[in-house]
């Protein structure tokens, strides 16, 4: 078996600012270590594990690595490439066997191969090849030309600042938060240990080749180095430029991408930099609600995308019921995450009240960043990132949200100055605009003058932040607007006209319940996940495919909408076909071996444990009732309570149905929700005295005789207590009944 001395492969400096990696060019087989060997080696050295790329282990002098398994190649294979740099033809894979197959020779494209026997990355990581790319009107297939096209595109997108200047006086527009200094304190060891414990272990590694599994397994060895790194970073004693490198992996935005604009960049960062960024993100997340407006939903833990859609459904319904002419402007920003200017982010941080230390740390993360685009597993040239935030960095989404929140501050100031006005009377005096990251809806009066004013506000916003609006992809939806006025209003803003329902955050949004045709994308997605090869799988494999793939596809829809029965039947038909199929034709009849109701039972009840989509839809929607009855501080909850139930003492489920189709569908589930929930009385105005479970028993059932004399069967606990006891009954109570009621109220 081939072995090699790797003592000279890497030597890491104790300085984090500038470290060097010394390597020996020998004709050797690529080493492969077991995790136990790595821990033992690192334990004997006690040296720094942070190198120029972060995460390298320093091995003791004379230690010899032994090959294990068959993943590292055949004995006798010779390689001359430097194993520390994937550019040389190696891929460092950090999996749950962190160092077992650390250096796995990858299979470079034929046009860049330098000879020798090439092999594929373990796990077939190169199965999705970028075969061709459009460049300057022609299609290129050679690797150097594709790499140059990607370099030109992303270096222009991320590496060239547009020099935008902040045109708004932020200190007059934004009220700073005064107690944010604690965010910049030196992190404690307990805080850093908790971050390591919560890191997902299976994320893709960055240029250093190590993922979070390595950090978890070797934390006792490397923790002191990371403690020192974090301390020096927050004390502003070091530069992280050598660590702040990332690979950009390309995520297709559509089924058949052909140009660089059809790919989204996802950054794979070094583990040490991700550790620093995670500290900042965990500190900022609990305070983010104080720093942004209430209708800012993206990347905020206490707010979900379902809350954003719920507010949209209900507010648009109220706009339609008002009979007033109103427009909804759906704004599309051009590559928002890649184009936001760093100066705009830093200016917003200063205006929000962050101290100089936090601003310096943020600037260090943004300004020292460099990236390289991965093309079929081969990294390209590195370029400096002069603008944008990295998708994949823990702190970047929150920084983007803070910068994007400037638009809500500007529209609210315009509202207070009379430049804009509210589309409908409401309890909330803020301008109705909702943002989920870069997906923005603006709801306003159908007034040509106000639309012109809004366009001027958006222009100032774009020039200040670098977020450019794509007017060709933006659209205007009209509510209660005359046909002859629709085209005038759309041309005033410079966008195309749209109709209800329109797609927002992947779901149909409108004033009426979605039709079956509106769920066509979901049905199509399910059917496209039925490959013909499933007929060659055994029943256990098919069951796994049904439960973990086909059954999960409708989940996003079911979290917000009541799925029609016909749509569920169509999905169930596809799931049955996958489970019992004997033909690749979807329309062919498949003879089921068991009834579908039996199959959907839990395994403990004799079924196969396949998810019942109708029951799952109900369970997911009932989460909205939990927020509603507990009056969570969520915009749609406040909107519905203040609009329909603010002046009523009767609980919502005892009143006539009102509101949007979405809210009616949710409220109809209250019978199930009340049957499985237990109530802890607070104000007592959201549940029924007789019919809800707020005591040990439902009083309607435990006090049948008293209930038969109740003057109001649907009275709330609050209303019951606000009246004299005898007023709640048709006849005077006996002494025993009076004592029983008093006891239940204790």
Q: Which ranges in 6-142 belong to alpha helices (H)?
A: 35-45
pLDDT score at 305: 95
Inform me whether the pLDDT recorded for 74 exceeds 90: no
Q: How far is CA 38 from the centre of its chain?
A: 35
Which residues have C-beta within 8 Å of that of residue 361, sequence separation ≥ 6? 184, 233, 234, 236, 280
And the tokens for 21?
């990696």
Q: Helical H runs in 466-581?
A: 483-493, 520-528, 539-545, 555-558, 565-580
Integer CA distances (angstroms), 296 to 350, 360, 516, 523, 625, in order: 20, 25, 31, 31, 22
Q: Which residues contact 350 (CB under 8 A, 6 or more apart)?
A: 170, 359
Residue 559: both structure tokens together: 């979290």
Looking at the DSSP assignment, which residues form a beta bridge with residue 267?
Answer: 248
Evaluate whether 311 touches 430 at the Cβ level (below 8 Å).
no
SS3 499: coil
Helix then strand then coil, % of the chain, to nearest 5: 45, 10, 45
What are the structure tokens assigned to 171, written together?
């200190």
Least confident stretch, 10-19, 334-343, 574-583, 635-644: 10-19
Pairing of strands 496-498, 475-479: parallel
Q: Which residue ranges make up each domain of the chain?
A: 128-160+181-286+357-383, 288-341+387-505, 516-611, 679-745
Higher-pLDDT residue of 263, 589: 263
In angstroms, rounded to a whole number, what is the distance separating the alpha carbons of residues 91 and 106? 6
The radius of gyration computed from the CA coordinates of the chain, to the nearest angstrom, equals 31
Q: What is the pLDDT of residues 297-336, one digit of tens each?
A: 999 988 999 999 999 999 999 999 999 999 999 999 999 9
Give the other-Cβ count within 10 Å of 69's Cβ: 11
- In whole angstroms, give the CA distance from residue 571 to residue 567: 6
Between CA 288 and CA 290 the distance in angstroms is 5
Determine which of 55-69, 272-286, 431-445, 453-467 has the lowest per-residue pLDDT on average. 55-69
DSSP three-state, residue 616: helix
Categorise residue 19: left if φ over 0, alpha if ψ from -120 to 50, beta otherwise. beta
In the chain, how long is the greatest CA-to-CA distance? 102
Q: What number is the average pLDDT over the span 535-554? A: 90
Q: What is the pLDDT of residue 746?
A: 59
Lowest mean pLDDT among 32-36, 468-472, 742-746: 32-36
pLDDT for 120 = 33
Q: What is the CATH number that goes with domain 288-341+387-505? A: 3.30.70
Are 483 and 333 spatial neighbours (Cβ–Cβ below 8 Å)?
no
Q: Which run of H or of E encompasses 251?
A: strand 245-252
Return d(Cα 632, Cα 614) in angstroms, integer: 26
pLDDT, position 108: 41
Q: Convert 162-188 to b/e letters by CB count within 10 Å (16 or more is b).
A: eebebebebeeebeeeeebeebbeebe
Q: Label residue 690 by pLDDT band (50, 70, 90).
A: confident
Model confidence pLDDT, tens digit, residues 603-641: 999 999 999 999 999 999 999 999 999 999 999 999 999
Residue 217 token pair: 């397994």
């Amino acid at each position: 078996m081939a072995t090699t001395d790797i003592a000279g492969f890497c030597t890491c400096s104790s300085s984090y600012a500038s470290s060097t990696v010394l390597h020996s060019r020998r004709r050797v087989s690529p080493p492969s270590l077991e995790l136990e060997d790595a821990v033992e080696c690192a334990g004997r050295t006690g040296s720094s594990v942070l190198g120029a790329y972060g995460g390298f282990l320093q091995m003791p002098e004379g230690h010899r690595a032994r090959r294990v398994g068959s993943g590292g190649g055949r004995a006798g294979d010779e390689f001359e490439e430097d194993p520390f740099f994937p550019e040389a033809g190696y891929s460092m894979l950090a999996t749950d066997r962190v160092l077992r197959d650390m250096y796995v020779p990858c299979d470079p494209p034929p046009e860049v191969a330098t000879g020798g026997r090439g092999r594929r990355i373990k796990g077939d990581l190169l199965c999705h090849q970028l075969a061709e790319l459009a460049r300057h009107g022609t299609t290129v297939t050679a690797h150097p030309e594709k790499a140059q096209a990607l370099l030109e595109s992303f270096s222009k997108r991320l590496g060239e600042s547009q020099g935008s200047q902040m045109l708004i006086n932020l200190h007059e527009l934004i009220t700073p938060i005064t107690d944010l200094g604690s965010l910049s304190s030196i992190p404690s060891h307990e805080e850093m240990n908790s971050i390591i414990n919560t890191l997902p272990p299976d994320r893709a590694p960055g240029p250093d080749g190590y993922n979070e599994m390595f950090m978890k397994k070797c934390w006792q060895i490397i923790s002191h180095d990371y403690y020192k790194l974090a301390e020096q970073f927050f004390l502003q004693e070091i530069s992280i430029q050598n660590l702040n490198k990332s690979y950009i992996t390309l995520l297709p935005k559509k089924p058949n991408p052909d140009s660089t604009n059809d790919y989204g960049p996802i950054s794979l960062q070094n583990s040490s930099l991700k550790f620093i960024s995670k500290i900042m993100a965990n500190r900022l997340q609990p305070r983010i609600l104080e720093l942004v407006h209430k209708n800012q939903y993206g990347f905020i833990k206490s707010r979900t995308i379902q809350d954003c859609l719920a507010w949209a459904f209900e507010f648009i319904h109220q706009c339609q019921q008002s009979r007033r002419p109103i427009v909804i402007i759906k704004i599309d920003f051009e590559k928002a995450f890649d184009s936001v200017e760093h100066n705009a982010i830093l200016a917003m941080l200063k205006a929000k009240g962050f101290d100089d230390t936090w601003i310096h740390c943020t600037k260090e993360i943004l300004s020292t960043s460099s990236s390289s685009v991965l093309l079929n597993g081969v990294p390209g040239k590195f370029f400096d990132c002069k603008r944008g935030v990295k998708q994949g960095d823990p702190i970047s989404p929150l920084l983007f949200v803070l910068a994007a929140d400037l638009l809500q501050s500007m529209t609210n100031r315009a509202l207070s100055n009379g430049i804009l006005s509210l589309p409908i009377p409401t309890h909330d005096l803020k301008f109705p605009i909702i943002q989920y990251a870069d997906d923005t809806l603006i709801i306003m009066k159908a007034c040509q003058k106000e639309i012109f004013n809004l366009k001027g506000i958006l222009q100032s916003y774009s020039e200040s932040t670098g977020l450019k609006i794509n007017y060709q992809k933006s659209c205007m939806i009209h509510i209660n607007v005359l046909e002859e006025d629709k085209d005038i209003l759309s041309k005033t803003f410079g966008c195309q006209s749209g109709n209800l329902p329109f797609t927002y955050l992947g779901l149909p949004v409108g004033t009426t319940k979605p039709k079956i045709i509106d769920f066509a994308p979901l049905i199509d997605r399910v059917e496209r996940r039925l490959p013909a090869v499933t007929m060659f799988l055994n029943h256990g494999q098919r069951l796994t495919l049904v439960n973990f793939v086909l059954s999960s596809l409708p989940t996003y829809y079911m979290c917000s909408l009541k799925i029609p029965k016909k749509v569920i039947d169509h999905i169930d038909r596809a799931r049955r076909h996958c489970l019992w199929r004997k033909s690749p034709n979807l329309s062919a009849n498949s003879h089921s071996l068991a009834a579908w109701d039996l199959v959907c039972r839990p395994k403990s009840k004799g079924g196969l444990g396949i998810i019942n989509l109708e029951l799952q839809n109900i369970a997911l929607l009932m989460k909205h009732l939990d927020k509603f009855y507990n009056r969570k501080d969520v915009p749609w909850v406040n909107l519905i309570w203040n609009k329909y139930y603010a002046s009523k003492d009767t609980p919502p489920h005892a009143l006539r149905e009102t509101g949007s189709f979405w809210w009616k569908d949710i409220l109809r589930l209250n019978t199930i929700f009340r049957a499985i929930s237990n109530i802890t009385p607070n104000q007592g105005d959201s549940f029924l005295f007789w019919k809800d479970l707020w005591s040990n028993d439902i009083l309607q059932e435990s006090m049948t005789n008293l209930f038969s004399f109740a003057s109001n069967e649907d009275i709330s606990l609050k209303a019951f207590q606000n009246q004299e006891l005898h007023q709640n009954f048709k006849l005077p109570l006996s002494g025993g009944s009076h004592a029983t009621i008093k006891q239940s109220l204790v």
